[in-house]
Amino acid sequence: ERPMYRNFRIVPNIIFGRGSFNQLDDVLKDRRVTADSWMVFVVDDVFTGKPLEGRFPLRGRDLLLWVNVDDEPKTRYIDELVARIRAYSPTAPAGIAGIGGGSAMDIAKAVSLMLNNPGSSADYQGWDLIKNPAVYHVAVPTLAGTGAEISRTTILTGPEKKLGINSDYTLYDQILLDPELLAGVPKNQWFYTGMDCYIHDVESLNGTFINEFSKAYGEKSRDLCREVFLDDSPAKDDKLMMASYFGGMSIAYSQVGACHALSYGLSYVLGIHHGVGCCIAFDQLEEIYPEGVQEFRQMMEKHDIPLPRNLTKDLDSASMEKMVTTALNLVPLWENCLGPDWANIMTRERAMELYKKM
Ligand code: NAD
Ligand code: ZN
């Protein structure tokens, strides 16, 4: 019997290059098919009053929607934003441009899906639950590492779970990668989000789901991360942007592993952001990823990056249990990491011990 291979959609249009942000206007122009076509710019509010704000190619009735990412995206917030867009105009926008890091890019993805699908975004957390194609959407990353620009998910925290809306419609129609936009990212954030990418590579390459497709992308992405974080390459912003893209391509056809599973627990119970949460978890996973963790510590030392510690020290046992449950519910991640027998290897007790050290 032959296995069933997944038939993944990928992002069809890509612009890469320094200064390419100036081409966003041209890209959107092709979508402004009628006189009253309009766009929504979903932008991380960190750019309010910054020079980039003056460069958004707003025209006519376009709506500039600032979004706040102090908390990672919640389903309630998505529903609110969709209601605001619907209240702004009875006709749907011709396109959405998401400008920012993984959070803003995920918000823009979710909004473009929900404008064409009824109900709450929480109804669609899961796999392939979306019925109707999204509004045309473009991503412009300003922070590199998550791979959100090319993934088929938008990760949301809902009333019951933290889980992505995974579907072929979630994927961006266009991405515009301008490495100049990474200038100005605070150093620790640059590192934590960059490590998200490095950890995608390690978890993909060391997983049991690995194949030559994922390996081709994962190895190149890991090499680029080494040039960025160990060699201080002069083109480091360009390289990190490509590393993020390749890291995302690698996990698309494999899976992440233990570190991501544990970081979901930290995020769900303690609200810890994805990048730093992955770093906190990874630092405890030497037994599972010995070489990766060692190299990660080298990178951390080279850039003098602090890691928050003792986060679970005063946590009550119900919260600790909830973290363990959240992590262990991510079955495909554990299967990839430890194989079909994973549940006997990563027991609740062992996961609890790991959390106690974080
Ligand atoms: P982020 O988008 O949460 O941003 C982190 C901080 O950096 C924010 O304060 C933001 O305002 C700021 N920032 C962004 N760009 C900046 C710039 N150019 N200059 C100055 N400050 C800037 O961080 P992230 O690590 O990119 O994304 C994390 C999010 O991505 C999480 O919500 C996570 O769930 C999601 N994620 C999604 C996927 C996916 O495939 N969809 C994968 C991994 C992570
Ligand atoms: Zn990640």
Dist CA 271 CA 274 (whole Å): 9
Helices and strands (DSSP H and E) totals, the chain: 13, 9
pLDDT at 160: 86
Interval between CA 349 and ligand 2 midpoint (Å): 24
Question: Which of 18-22, 230-234, 242-246 has the least mean pLDDT?
Answer: 230-234
Dist CA 171 CA 86 (whole Å): 22
DSSP tag of 231: S
Name the pTM for this structure. 0.97
Whether residue 1 is predicted with pLDDT greater than 80 in this model: the reply is no
Per-residue pLDDT tens digits for 91-125: 999 999 999 999 999 999 999 999 999 999 999 99
Note whether 305 and 191 are within 8 A (CB): yes
Per-residue pLDDT tens digits for 216-225: 999 999 999 9
Burial class (CB in 10 A: 0-12, 13-18, 19+), 260: buried
CB atoms within 10 A of CB 125: 23
Interval between CA 164 and ligand 1 midpoint (Å): 15
Interval between CA 5 and ligand 1 midpoint (Å): 31
Dist CA 157 CA 179 (whole Å): 29
> Which residues are in the CB-under-5-Å shell of ion ligand 2?
196
| 194 pLDDT tier (thresholds 50, 70, 90) | very high
Per-residue pLDDT tens digits for 60-76: 999 999 999 999 999 99
Dist CA 174 CA 140 (whole Å): 9
CB atoms within 10 A of CB 31: 16
> Measured on CA atoms in the order 146, 149, 152, 153, is the torsion positive or negative?
positive
| 302 pLDDT tier (thresholds 50, 70, 90) | very high
**Among the atoms of ligand 1, which is closest to the Cα of residue 72?**
32
pLDDT at 4: 86
Provide the percentage of residues in the chain whose pLDDT is more than 70. 100
The finding on whether 207 has its CB within 6 A of some atom of ligand 1 is no
Closest CA to 170 of 132, 118, 197, 123: 132
**Among the atoms of ligand 1, which is closest to the Cα of residue 164?**
41
Does the ipTM exceed 0.90? yes
| 245 pLDDT tier (thresholds 50, 70, 90) | very high
The finding on whether 193 has its CB within 6 A of some atom of ligand 1 is yes
pLDDT at 3: 81
